[in-house]
Structure 1
Amino acid sequence: MNQTGLPARRTAHYLLMEITGEGRLMAELIAGGALARLETDDRARAQRLATDALRGLDRADRMLKPYLKKTPPDHVMNALRLGVIELCGGEAAHGVVNAYVEIVARNKRTQAMKGLTNAVLRKIAAEGPEGWNKRAIPLTPGWLRQPLVAAWGRDAVEGMEAAHFAGAPLDLSAKGNAEAVAKALDGNLLSTGSVRLQNAGQVSTLRGYAEGDWWVQDAAAAIPVKLLGDVKGLRVLDLCAAPGGKAMQLAALGADVTAVDISEKRMERIAENLTRVGLTAACVVSDAFAFDQTGFDAILLDAPCSATGTIRRHPDLPYAKDGSEFGALIDQQEAMIDHALTLLKPGGRLVFCTCSLLPDEGEVQVEEALARHPDLRTEADALRINGIDADWITDEGGLRLRPDYWPDIGGMDGFYMAVLRKPA
């Protein structure tokens, strides 16, 4: 790792600028090569620093506010935020302050504010971790927090924010014996069958990775497939299949799987993962609406959505988005449900799911699908699987999962899912 830490810090600053200023997602930036020029250790450090800053951004801003007469330009503000995260994380003040003063000074438009940067960060250093820890849990940006409070109430949203701030452990789905995987990795076997690791480290170096014994998949994301029960020998369509965890689950259970995704690059990744774990599926690159094979026994539709349920793992989401695209996503989900039903054989089952915390992308979608298709039925009994609290089953017959559930063991992603039975 570079001894000054400056390359990693500059890259973390660039990531923050692009996410908070340009609305770009972290994954998009990394895929585009934002970390490519860094040494391996610096890549990890830059990504971790930017992620920590996003996770604690509201708290960092509250720490900075008493020392700022007015909000400085974004270039300076993001340098200060990163400085707060490092100083309150126990990094030595001298190196941190000098690095962010240099980052501010390198920009011609803000170089006159290097003195301000130095003074403010010195004051933050005096507060240190003690000042950080006495601040409240960071709040979700208002554009998202307001509809969440309206849907779930203030107490529930505060629980979600605590889960988002804490981040997420690493969950795995086992190809075979989950108990054996948990034992081999010194992890915990969750009640739903996923394996949870609290301090995993580098995924590709973990025991069983090269052998294909498991794949990474949040415990909540692994539940939709479980709702189908025994799928051995059934023709099952995984529509919008990326990143591929559900296709691998289905294949491991003995289903005849067809995985469809619009992205050729994402489908290549799915195929690579299937090969690594020694499983097979028919991989089709296609727009979901253009795919017209019919007669499937079951379909799993993990529809494109706001992804607001994944903030504990992707804290950039509420800063890169503003909700303006949600209306189009909701319309697309509705159309996808209707199209998927045409691909099911009579009596077949459709599992509709979204990794969203917004009822318009979950409960409301199913209510409206039932209204459009009077013979369609939800199967609430299918939701009663190991690890599922009966209180999580909703009035229309779906399953609502939230980040504030399982608070003592690391939470879960926010998800909605329902099993819809097509009339025979």
Structure 2
Amino acid sequence: MAGDKQSGGLAARAAALALLEAVLEQGAMLGQVLADPAGPLTGLSPSDRARAQRLALAVLRHIEPADRVLKPHLRKEPPEAVRIALRLAVVELAVEHAAAHGVVNAAVSLMRLGKRTTHMAGLVNAVLRKVAEVPEPFAGLPPQRLPFWLRKPLVDTYGREQVAAMEAVQALAPPIDISVKPGAEVAIPGAEALPTGSLRLPPQVQVSNLPGFAEGQWWVQDAAAALAVGLLAPRPGERVLDLCAAPGGKTLQLAAAGAQVLALDISAPRLVRLRDNLARCGLAAEVVAADALVWQPAAAFDAILLDAPCSATGTIRRHPDLPFVKDGSDLPQVLALQAALIDRALGWLKPGGRLVFCTCSLLPDEGEAQLAGALARHPGLVVERPDLPGVEPAWITETGGLRLRPDYWAERGGMDGFFMARLRLPA
């Protein structure tokens, strides 16, 4: 970021601070705050909205190294609002490589805007001027570590080196992947064709301005998430249920493959986006808002895709607020819900029908263990090996599931963490 437009820059920074305070002090998920029509981004220009969101995400990815940089310059703990402002400025210097004078002046101005922080303007000025003297403040510092409740089971499962590699990927702003409608010709300069069939866009693009978006030729979907529909392998005319469907990327894939799709989700507001994307892409699906634990279908399905509610720990590269809001305490209830959804879904299949169960989680309890439990509860159920284009043999588990991790494709920007498995009923 060269230079600094003080008025617009200050508005974006103030909004970023409000977003960070909502996450770190109030325990709100960033997505909820961003969706609030009366939230901190209200009234900002599109460019300032984008900048505020980018800054908040960057800080959440680098709080630990920012605190390490600040520690030698603070004799006592400042108020939380001041600490957050200092973190923002440090991240701007270390990650955004912003001009030091603009960052320092903006941080001081932000302090003077608040009645509770005006008296801290001098401290902020002094601390940040010292930090700005270091060319690369984060040089030699390890990436931000996952919280203990999550890191310990991951280290036990994958090993310390692998978890450190995941953390290194999660410290980076992730690229955007898209799924292309079959038959569409999409030419986006700088896009990379991934081995699994998704396209990875160049960094810092405005998605809605890219060729083919308005025409509905593609939609945003992480490459890992897109593999679930490939594993289900829907055929034209098949009756397919997308269970827990919102926000709808998999529904679009299923409909584009020619399946007769019923998209079910408990959240009516989240289904609004799904309907919008169906309309934009010229695709059709029956959309139902209902609780899958009480809903009953009118007829059995050829195939079901269950992207079950989970801890979402595989998506931290895109949702760095998650480790600061969640603590794993709801995991027992989530695990019980996943098992119940698997059992109900299997009961809705035709003989010989197939179910793909997946979760965007890195925890084996939400993946490998759920697969083992389903096999124990349902004699005759068969796991079908996930031999898909671009899937490396090392990603396939001993029991035939597909385990994806953020550190896979690290040189390309990684992928979301997922577990998925295809199950088939006896004919």
Q: Which residue of 2 aligns with 1:126?
A: 133
Does residue 1:310 correspond to 2:315, yes or no? yes
Does residue 1:268 correspond to 2:238, yes or no? no
Q: State the alpha-carbon separation in 1 of the partners of residues 202 and 66 from structure 2.
A: 25
Q: State the alpha-carbon separation in 2 of the partners of residues 230 and 148 from structure 1.
A: 33
Q: Which residue of 1 aligns with 2:105?
A: 98
Unaligned runs of 5+ in 2: none
Deviates further, 32-41 or 188-197: 32-41
Deviates further, 296-305 or 265-274: 265-274
> Which SS does the other structure have where 2:78 is aligned?
coil
> Once the two structures are superposed, what CA deviation does each residue of 1:79-131 show, in whole Å capped at 9, x if it has no partner?
11001011223323333223223333444444433332222111111114x22
Q: State the alpha-carbon separation in 2 of the partners of residues 123 and 325 from structure 1.
A: 43
Does residue 1:389 correspond to 2:392, yes or no? yes
1:281 aligned residue (285, 288, 294): 285
1:71 Cα shift? 2.9
Match runs of 1:192-271 below 5 Å: 192-199=196-203, 201-271=205-275
Deviates further, 287-296 or 232-241: 287-296
> Which SS does the other structure have where 1:22 is aligned?
coil
Q: State the alpha-carbon separation in 2 of the partners of residues 192 and 41 from structure 1.
A: 33
> Once the two structures are superposed, what CA deviation does each residue of 1:128-158 show, in whole Å capped at 9, x if it has no partner?
4x22233222222333222221221111111
1:69 Cα shift? 2.6
Does residue 1:319 correspond to 2:311, yes or no? no
Judge conservation of contact 2:182–2:257 (CA < 8 Å) in 1. no
Q: State the alpha-carbon separation in 2 of the partners of residues 148 and 242 from structure 1.
A: 27
> Which SS does the other structure have where 1:48 is aligned?
helix
Q: State the alpha-carbon separation in 2 of the partners of residues 168 and 118 from structure 1.
A: 32
Q: Which residue of 2 aligns with 1:171?
A: 177
- TM-score of the superposed pair, with normalisation by structure 1: 0.95
Judge conservation of contact 2:58–2:173 (CA < 8 Å) in 1. no
Structure 2: which amino acid aligns with 1:234?
A: E
Q: What is the root-mean-square deviation of aligned Cα atoms in Å?
A: 1.7
Does residue 1:45 correspond to 2:48, yes or no? no
Q: Which residue of 2 aligns with 1:191?
A: 195
1:184 Cα shift? 4.2
Match runs of 1:334-413 below 5 Å: 334-380=339-385, 383-413=386-416
Match runs of 1:71-110 below 5 Å: 71-88=77-94, 89-110=96-117
2:148 aligned residue (132, 142, 162): 142
1:2 Cα shift? 6.1
C-alpha distance 234-4 of structure 1, shift in aligned 2 (>3 A)? closer
> Once the two structures are superposed, what CA deviation does each residue of 1:349-374 show, in whole Å capped at 9, x if it has no partner?
11000001111111111111111222
1:229 Cα shift? 2.2
Deviates further, 143-152 or 92-101: 92-101
Q: Which residue of 2 aligns with 1:27?
A: 31
Q: State the alpha-carbon separation in 1 of the partners of residues 77 and 426 from structure 2.
A: 59
Q: State the alpha-carbon separation in 2 of the partners of residues 185 and 121 from structure 1.
A: 39
> Once the two structures are superposed, what CA deviation does each residue of 1:267-286 show, in whole Å capped at 9, x if it has no partner?
12111101111110111111
Q: Percent identity, aligned pairs only?
A: 55
- TM-score of the superposed pair, with normalisation by structure 2: 0.94
Unaligned runs of 5+ in 1: none
1:203 Cα shift? 0.6
The total of aligned residue pairs comes to: 419
Structure 1: which amino acid aligns with 2:54?
A: R
> Which SS does the other structure have where 2:407 is aligned?
coil
Q: State the alpha-carbon separation in 2 of the partners of residues 4 and 385 from structure 1.
A: 47
> Which SS does the other structure have where 2:132 is aligned?
helix
1:396 Cα shift? 2.2
